[in-house]
Chains A and B, each alone.
Chain A
């Protein structure tokens, strides 16, 4: 194969990559732990959706003491464990494949067993009602120390997976001096570089304050400081969930739909923008907080509009790639290509529908970010309406769609029930749209989020329809999710052996990476990381300098 050909692809060597069964097994088990978390989270989500419709099924959940215990499980399992275990499996695989290097089993083992330990600690503390603090873990509600330690271990597992990526890249660079990093490896690595930087906030908060505070070493903590450190990480964390989906949309989906990735350099620019702008925007989650100057809030608002930009660029690139595919498949006219996007492929259908819901997720996100408008929607049901269209579908549905080729690839089994799996995505999507419609309209009428509506001592008539739609949508989402588990389980049990895909579906690019000129500089990860650190300092240093030292005022409360 010639050098010119290889730069057209998002991977170094388009053919001849394989890796041993014991590594496949490690990646599979990492994924299964994520699916297990998703299943647990979905079960609780079902009950929470129905609670908005004034139907209480919580009493049928064994060992569940309150709505909020279930809500903690829902958030921690779905938003933290499912997403990060997926990334811990997916990103090393893509990086190794793209670079054409072997994976390093020690890192796979390390990340997997750390996640197992994290699960044991968090499951124990949450199921025994010792940690009903919701996944945001706002002090001074105080969880048992095992909960904080479990979440710290989850983050540690992402560090082990990150180190795996960096070591593979460093080894590859030694042998391939002066070569451009294959695109698929570049965007995978940037995702975890961003996350490593973003996670500093929760690392400081959990290790420096919450863990010693829950152990009694530190008597009191500072609620505003802990909250600010959480949101230092908390906005960027959504990009840590989203970027693996973007990686698939950019670099894999075009292949599945017979299209091409439009521009290699522009894709790198987009991921670098996420590295730069994901973190210095955290105050937009704290617009209504006391103790933070309005100037800083406005500054973060403007940067939040900035971080919308790479998503806008993504909208064009991804749709253009799809259009190329649709037209190649024989679609004509202005929009005729949409019908030719291989809607019979469950992996693709899931991801196409994820993209469509993400348009609404993005727009509602922009509304949340709009400074004073946030006062209308903050902490109302609008907010979960928004994020179920981002992490709850753009991410979750994309990860399900990826699972439809990834599990067959890792097991060398044919996917069971293609048609059934196509229906799965539609049902889930219709569900999420109905639920989001309910939550969003309820939120505009003041219906609060994170509230056990069945037992609340207040209500409004305008919440009735909103709540009913939330319950109906949530039920459809649950059915969709259960169907996903059926497809995966049946594939593992009865999928035809030897008929799985032999390689991952990586795309080719229309505009390849150039070997000369300024876009070579895009690969200078250290430089971009330093730039990101500088931006974070500009955005956060004024607050910390004027605020510190910490006000250690609050003892722990266990009101649950």
Chain B
């Protein structure tokens, strides 16, 4: 196949650019350890309220400067709706839905994950500075979806 030399150059340049992007992704995820949520267990949405740790939603200190937040999403509220943690702490969120699909986004952070009935969502984030962050449900979950919010207070 005859390809014009400019086009050939463009296609090579494009290929190199995409490979560089891929390498950058691999470096940030593997070497720098910035992860996406993955498999973190399963839980029956209909019996979730009696299954540990979801039978007791809230904030727990699990070590010096380390916290675990168990968070339940239900149409149309978060349980707990307010989370207080000290600045500088590393927080692991364990979240799940009791009914339909919800989205958990803590504004201004990379805590952004889907809550899918049947699955446990987990992500860890370090809150460095004091301040307030909105907890927003960002997946449509019914007529009151826009009322499903809460906040994280970093003290």
Q: Report A's interface with B, CB cutoff 8 A.
A: 66-68, 71, 132, 134, 138-141, 222-224, 227, 262-263, 265-266, 286-294, 297-298, 301-302, 305-306, 308-309, 312-313, 316-317, 320, 366, 370-372, 374-376, 378-380, 445-446, 448-453, 455-458, 460, 511, 514, 517-519, 551, 553-555, 557, 559-560
Q: Given A289-B116, A457-B149: A140 and B100 within 8 A (CB)? A: yes
Q: Does B107 contact A (CB under 8 A)?
A: yes
Please determine whether A380 and B138 come into contact, CB atoms closer than 8 angstroms. yes
CA distance A372 to B36 in the complex (A): 6
Q: Which A residues are in CB contact (< 8 Å) with B4?
A: 262-263, 320, 511
**Closest residue of A by beta carbon distance from B125:** A375
Q: Are A227 and B29 in contact (CB under 8 A)?
A: no
| Residues in B whose Cβ lies below 8 Å from that of A262 | 4, 7
* Residues of chain B contacted by A555 (CB below 8 angstroms): 46
Interface flags for B97-119 (1: CB within 8 Å of A; 0: not) read: 00111010101101111111111
> Given the known A-B contacts A140-B117, A290-B120, A450-B138, are A371 and B145 also in contact in the complex, defined by CB atoms under 8 Å?
no
Q: B142–A460 contact, CB under 8 A?
A: no
Closest-CB distance, A379 to chain B (whole angstroms): 4
**Given A291-B39, A291-B119, A292-B38, A559 contacting B143 (CB threshold 8 A):** yes
User: Within 8 Å CB of B101, what residues of A?
Assistant: 138-141, 223, 227
User: Which residue of the partner chain B has the closest CB to A306?
Assistant: B18
| 10 CB-based A-B contacts, threshold 8 Å | A134-B140, A140-B100, A141-B140, A224-B119, A227-B101, A286-B114, A301-B25, A309-B14, A370-B21, A553-B44
Give the most central of B42, B103, B140: most A CB within 10 Å.
B140
Q: Which of B14, B40, B111 contacts A312 (CB 8 A)?
A: B14
Known: A223-B101, A265-B1. A551 touches B147 (CB 8 A): no
Contact of B75 among A287, A448, A559 (CB under 8 A): A559
Report the number of A-B residue pairs with Cβ-Cβ less than 8 Å.
Answer: 216
Give min CB distance, A197 to chain B, whole Å: 24
Taking a contact as CB atoms under 8 Å apart, the answer to whether B118 and A222 are in contact is: yes
Question: Which of A290, A456, A560 contacts B113, CB < 8 Å?
Answer: A290
Pairwise interchain contact A68-B112, C-beta atoms closer than 8 A: no
Interchain CB contact under 8 A, A551 and B118? yes
Q: Which residues of B contact A306 (CB under 8 A)?
A: 18
Report which B residues bind A (CB closer than 8 A): 1-4, 6-7, 10-11, 14-15, 18, 21-22, 25-26, 28-29, 34-40, 42, 44-46, 75, 99-101, 103, 105, 107-108, 110-122, 134, 136-147, 149
CB neighbours (8 Å) of A559 from chain B are 75, 99-100, 141-144
A305-B22, A370-B21 given; A263·B136 CB < 8 A: no
Judge whether A450 and B21 touch: CB under 8 Å: no
Other-chain residue from A138, A370, A455 in contact with B25 (beta carbon distance below 8 A): A370
B56 to chain A, nearest CB (A): 20
Please name the residue on chain A nearest to B151 by beta carbon: A458
- Once the chains bind, are B113 and A140 in contact (CB under 8 Å)? no
Do residues A458 and B134 form an inter-chain contact, with CB atoms below 8 A? yes
Q: Is the beta-carbon distance between B45 and A554 smaller than 8 angstroms?
A: yes
Pick the contact of A511: B2, B103, B134 (CB < 8 A). B2
Please determine whether A298 and B44 come into contact, CB atoms closer than 8 angstroms.
no
- Choose from B3, B37, B108, B120 the contact partner of A446 (Cβ within 8 Å): B108
8 further A-B contacts with Cβ under 8 Å, apart from A223-B116, A446-B136, are A224-B119, A263-B1, A266-B7, A290-B38, A292-B39, A371-B25, A376-B110, A511-B2
The smallest C-beta distance from B35 to any residue of chain A, in angstroms, reads 6
Residues in B whose Cβ lies below 8 Å from that of A265: 1
Is B116 in contact with A224, judged by CB distance below 8 angstroms? yes
Known A266-B1, A294-B36, A316-B11; contact A372-B75, beta-carbon cutoff 8 A: no
Residues of B within 8 A of A517 (CB): 1
In the complex, A67→B143 CA distance in Å? 8
B residues near A380, Cβ cutoff 8 Å: 105, 138
Complex-state Cα separation, A457 to B148, whole angstroms: 8
If A68-B140, A227-B101 touch, does A514 touch B116 (CB 8 Å cutoff)? Answer: no
Contact of B105 among A66, A371, A448, A560 (CB under 8 A): A448
Contact B116 A290 (CB under 8 A): yes
> Which residues in A have their C-beta under 8 angstroms from that of B112?
288, 375-376, 378-379
Question: Could you tell me the distance between the alpha carbons of A139 and B139 in the complex, rounded to whole angstroms?
Answer: 12
Across the interface, do B2 and A223 meet the contact criterion of CB distance under 8 Å? no
- A288-B113 in contact (CB<8A): yes
Please indicate the chain B residues that have their CB under 8 angstroms from the CB of A297 in the complex. Answer: 36, 38
Q: Which residues of A contact B142 (CB under 8 A)?
A: 68, 141, 557, 559-560
The answer to whether B119 and A66 touch across the interface, beta carbons within 8 angstroms, is: no
Cα–Cα distance between A378 and B144 once the two chains are bound (Å): 21
In the complex, what residues of B have CB within 8 A of residue A560's CB?
142-143
B139 / chain A contacts, CB cutoff of 8 Å:
138, 379, 450
Q: Which B residues touch A375, using CB under 8 A? A: 36, 110-113
Residue of B nearest to A317 (CB): B7
**A305 B143 Cβ-Cβ under 8 A:** no
B110 touches A372 (CB 8 A): yes
A448, B28: Cβ atoms under 8 Å?
no
Most buried by B among A366, A451, A452: A451
In the assembly, what is the distance between CA of A411 and CA of B144, in Å?
48
Q: Are A290 and B44 in contact (CB under 8 A)?
A: no
> When chains A and B are docked, how far (Å) is the Cα of A279 from the Cα of B86?
45
In the complex, what residues of B have CB within 8 A of residue A453's CB? 146
Bound together, the chains give a CA A458 to CA B147 distance in angstroms of 8
B-side contacts of A138, CB under 8 Å:
100-101, 139-140
